[in-house]
Structure 1
Amino acid sequence: MPFCILIASPVSNHQTIEVALRRSFRFILLLSIPVAFALAIYMQDKPVHAAGDTPSNGEQKALEAQGRDVLVIDGDTIMIDGVVADIAGIDAPELGQQCRHNGNFWDCGMSSAMQLRKYFAMAPFTVRCWPGDKEHSGKDDDFPIVECGIGERDVAAAMVSDGEALPIEGYSHRYDGLSEEADNAGIGIHGGDMIPPGEWRSGARLDGENGRCLFVPEGDSHYLGTLDPRYKDTTADRREFLCSDEQARSEGLSYAPLKK
């Protein structure tokens, strides 16, 4: 009986690979259809608006600006393109609030505001802000809240990590962890005595604190803060100082709009 050796043809191998690739492509295509459909349904429930767009249903719009164009009102409140908003997830010391470190008072509220201003002034990328989680914001009113980023940097997380603000309970586990780390290291407001901002707004003060109120009424329905360049020219009665932007809002005032 003759002895035969069978050698697989190279053409046969190429054909086998081609068939396998075709089957894989069809499988991936079939798998992508339900994924794309599910994504489309999800995006219908999560509307995204480009900066500057005005949503037709009245929803809060996304914002963006160069860092130098962001007006810092206090340590957790900003104005972008005429829109005033609170930075979501954090509560910074009020502008005129003082803290105590080694027996000495320092203007921790002003320090927080200046740190926030520095983040924006030195921003190497466009500042982008989008609507925050209203449900866990700790606020009952309809005032806008935003989460802001500078490139990959989360502004609120930076404020908490640098000891310039406290996290709002229930908003972000990440912020809670960063605050705990800052507290353990005694960074910023964690390095001494401080009245929680919410209690300070209600009138509580450290013993001996010379807390100042640094917002003033401006006109019939507006107010200004001392960090605003327009403050030096205001003709408002400075005996009627307001202690926080929350107080101003509760009295029916809105922040003075920029003139175009």
Structure 2
Amino acid sequence: MLRHVLPHVFCAVLCILAAPPATAADLIGRASVVDGDTLDIHGARIRLWGIDAPESAQACRGRDRKLYRCGALAANTLDAFARGKVLRCRPVDGDRYGRIVARCTAGGADLGRFMVSRGLALEETQYSGGAYAADQLAARRAGRGLWSGRFVAPPLYRSCMHAHGTTAVCSDGG
């Protein structure tokens, strides 16, 4: 009996090993922007890979030292760029909040690169491996977006909000 089963098992193992690895399907469609690094496509919550944008309620100081809503500016800029375009998001990972982490493009333009190059998001090098380093350096040197004044890095802002719960305390007030 074992003699008759072994060829079938061997064939099945070979077929499994020869098959291409399973990958998650790209998400394609028009997006609604949640904030400067998060969007929804067909009900799927997507976090842009390799970047971190200010939180929606976060405030920063501009070149003129006045407070402005940098989180809202980031979200509105991403929304204006993506509006009416079909996005293609290639899943890379998931995060602890159940979101899909993906590299997304609109008209061939990488949304993470778009946000970092305008100074509206910071590169997360621990995930991106430096993919946006040149874009961030150029934005910083040119004083674009966040780099035009002072800001609290988004992870520090979130930590402060968990501890204190008030935007006035956690945004750059100085």
Decide which of 151, 159, 164 is 1:194's aligned counterpart: 151
Q: How far, CA to CA, are the matches of 1:162 and 1:103 in structure 2?
A: 19
Give the CA deviation at 1:142. Answer: 4.6
Report percent identity of matched pairs.
30
Give the CA deviation at 1:140. Answer: 5.1
**Residue equivalent to 1:183:** 140
Q: How far, CA to CA, are the matches of 1:151 and 1:159 in structure 2?
A: 15
Aligned residue for 1:146, secondary structure, equals strand
Q: How far, CA to CA, are the matches of 1:172 and 1:111 in structure 2?
A: 26
> Structure 1 residues 184, 140: closer, same or farther in 2, change over 3 A?
same
> Structure 1 residues 115, 176: closer, same or farther in 2, change over 3 A?
same
Structure 1 position 119 matched with structure 2 position 81: yes
**Residue equivalent to 2:121:** 165
Give the CA deviation at 1:190. Answer: 0.7
Q: How far, CA to CA, are the matches of 1:119 and 1:178 in structure 2?
A: 17
**Residue equivalent to 2:6:** none
Which residue identity is paired with 1:62?
D
Higher RCO (CA 8 Å, separation ≥ 6 residues): 2
Which residue identity is paired with 2:29?
A
Give the CA deviation at 1:172. Answer: 3.6
Structure 1 position 85 matched with structure 2 position 46: yes
> Structure 1 residues 98, 89: closer, same or farther in 2, change over 3 A?
same
Q: Is the 8 A contact 2:93 2:100 kept in 1?
A: no
Which residue identity is paired with 1:201?
R
Q: Is the 8 A contact 2:60 2:171 kept in 1?
A: no
**TM-score, structure 2 as length reference:** 0.76
Q: After superposition, give the CA deviation of every residue in 1:42-70 in whole Å (9 maximum; x if it has no partner).
A: x713x34xxxxxxxxxxx5421113xxx1
Structure 1 position 110 matched with structure 2 position 72: yes
Structure 1 position 207 matched with structure 2 position 160: no
Which residue identity is paired with 1:157?
R
Give the CA deviation at 1:143. Answer: 3.0
Give the CA deviation at 1:152. Answer: 1.8
Task: Say which structure is richer in strand.
Answer: 2
Give the CA deviation at 1:168. Answer: 0.6
Give the CA deviation at 1:166. Answer: 0.4
RMSD, aligned α-carbons:
2.0
Aligned residue for 1:206, secondary structure, equals coil
Which residue identity is paired with 2:118?
D
**Residue equivalent to 1:131:** 91
Aligned residue for 1:44, secondary structure, equals coil
**TM-score, structure 1 as length reference:** 0.52
> Structure 1 residues 72, 141: closer, same or farther in 2, change over 3 A?
closer
Which residue identity is paired with 1:145?
V
Aligned residue for 2:125, secondary structure, equals coil
Aligned residue for 2:28, secondary structure, equals strand
Q: How far, CA to CA, are the matches of 2:147 and 2:92 in structure 1?
A: 26
**Residue equivalent to 1:62:** 26
Which has more radius of gyration?
1
